[in-house]
């Protein structure tokens, strides 16, 4: 997968992409991340990327020309065909595990980081194919959002994680939060690991984990539980468990 990121602050990306899973995926040649400075696609002496909003008002707006030129220049370097051109903006669709799963099979992605008061509307309308927000809060720029998207997508690319197994039990993969995890020691400061996890009974362990995931989701994220796929027995079990607690 090749990921091109267009932004105003390329240095922000150096550390996050040089650690952990993303670094390993780069080193193994599974992903190639190319950072571009939008300012390199300006032609005036001051390398101007923004201008006053037409119609007046506060703040500045990113000009369309450098962004269009950057995207077009990058497209010349990569294999032809439709690729997602994603504008990172608080106005985009919400980024979720489902969106990460949707982007993971793509061979190429282009991410455009917005800034200031916004981006000229013509970028959304005639250049971007998608708009993504990472949550309902405002960041000063799209760079951090791009890092979040890249991290979540890259770990889903086949071959990036050691075992694909661990993906299936991740929080959110099946619409539930993950079950509680423990490692040794069996007792720490008097707090014991649940005995079922030490029983060696894999059927019992699976059942316990599934129920803990459902219970945890019900307690913390009832909004997710309503959408999750549960069996009739599980729905019955969780509604009984919740009513017994009260
Ligand atoms: Cl993608 N950009 C900015 N500037 N703020 C955000 C965001 C993106 N997602 C949530 N807040």
Per-residue pLDDT tens digits for 64-115: 999 999 999 999 999 888 999 999 999 999 999 999 999 999 999 999 999 8
Distance 54 CA to ligand 1 centre (A): 23
List b or e across 23-34, with b for residues whose CB sees 16 or more CB atoms inside 10 angstroms: eebbeeeebebe
Question: Sign (positive/negative) of CA torsion 189, 191, 195, 199?
Answer: negative
pLDDT at res. 164: 62
Are the CB atoms for 73 and 47 separated by under 8 Å?
Answer: no
pLDDT at res. 167: 76
Count of C-beta atoms within a 10 Å radius of residue 50: 19
What confidence tens digit (pLDDT) does each residue in 171-187 have? 888 899 999 999 999 99
pLDDT at res. 21: 96
Distance 9 CA to ligand 1 centre (A): 15
Strand pairing class (61-62; 50-51):
antiparallel
Measured from CB, residues less than 6 Å from any atom of ligand 1 are 88-90, 114, 132-135, 137-139, 141-142, 145
All CATH 3.40.1280.10 domain ranges in the chain, comma separated: 2-154
Are the CB atoms for 133 and 93 separated by under 8 Å?
Answer: yes
d(CA 24, CA 26): 5
pLDDT at res. 169: 77
- Which of helix, strand or coil describes residue 51? strand
pLDDT beyond 90 at 170:
no
pLDDT at res. 69: 98
CATH class held by domain 174-245: mainly alpha
d(CA 150, CA 155): 9
All CATH 1.10.1270.20 domain ranges in the chain, comma separated: 174-245
Average pLDDT, the chain: 96
Tell me how long the chain is. Answer: 246
Distance 137 CA to ligand 1 centre (A): 7
What confidence tens digit (pLDDT) does each residue in 9-58 have? 999 999 999 999 999 999 999 999 999 999 999 999 999 999 999 999 99
Pick the CATH number of 2-154 from 3.40.1280.10, 3.40.50.720, 3.40.1120.10, 3.30.429.10: 3.40.1280.10
Any idea which residue has 């793509």 for tokens?
A: 106
H or E element, residue 187: strand 187-188
Rounded to an integer, the average pLDDT of 194-219 is 98
What residues are annotated to the active site?
Answer: 90, 117, 155, 170
Testing ligand 1's pocket by substitution, the residue of 92, 139, 146 carrying the most ligand atoms inside 8 A of its CB is 139
What confidence tens digit (pLDDT) does each residue in 149-164 have? 999 999 999 999 987 6
In this prediction the pTM is 0.94
């Amino acid at each position: 997968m090749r990921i091109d990121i267009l932004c105003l602050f390329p240095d922000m990306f150096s550390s996050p992409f040089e650690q952990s899973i993303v670094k390993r995926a780069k080193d193994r040649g599974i992903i190639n991340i190319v950072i571009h400075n939008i300012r390199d696609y300006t032609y005036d002496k001051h390398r101007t990327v923004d201008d006053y909003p037409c119609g007046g008002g506060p703040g500045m707006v990113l000009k369309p020309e450098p962004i269009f030129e950057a995207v077009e220049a990058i497209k010349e370097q990569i294999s032809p065909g439709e690729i997602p051109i994603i504008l990172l903006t608080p106005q985009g669709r919400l980024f979720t595990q489902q969106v990460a799963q949707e982007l993971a099979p793509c061979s190429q992605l282009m991410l455009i980081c917005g800034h200031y008061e916004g981006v000229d509307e013509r970028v959304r309308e005639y250049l971007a194919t998608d708009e993504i927000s990472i949550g309902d809060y405002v960041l000063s720029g799209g760079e951090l959002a791009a890092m979040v998207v890249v991290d979540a997508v890259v770990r889903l690319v086949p071959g990036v994680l050691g075992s694909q197994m661990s993906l299936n039990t991740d929080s959110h993969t099946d619409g539930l939060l993950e079950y509680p995890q423990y490692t040794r020691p069996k007792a720490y400061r008097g707090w014991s690991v649940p005995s079922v996890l030490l029983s060696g009974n894999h059927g019992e362990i699976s059942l316990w984990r599934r129920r803990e995931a459902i219970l945890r989701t019900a307690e913390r994220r009832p909004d997710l539980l309503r959408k999750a796929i549960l069996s009739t027995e599980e729905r019955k079990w969780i509604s009984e468990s919740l009513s017994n607690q009260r």
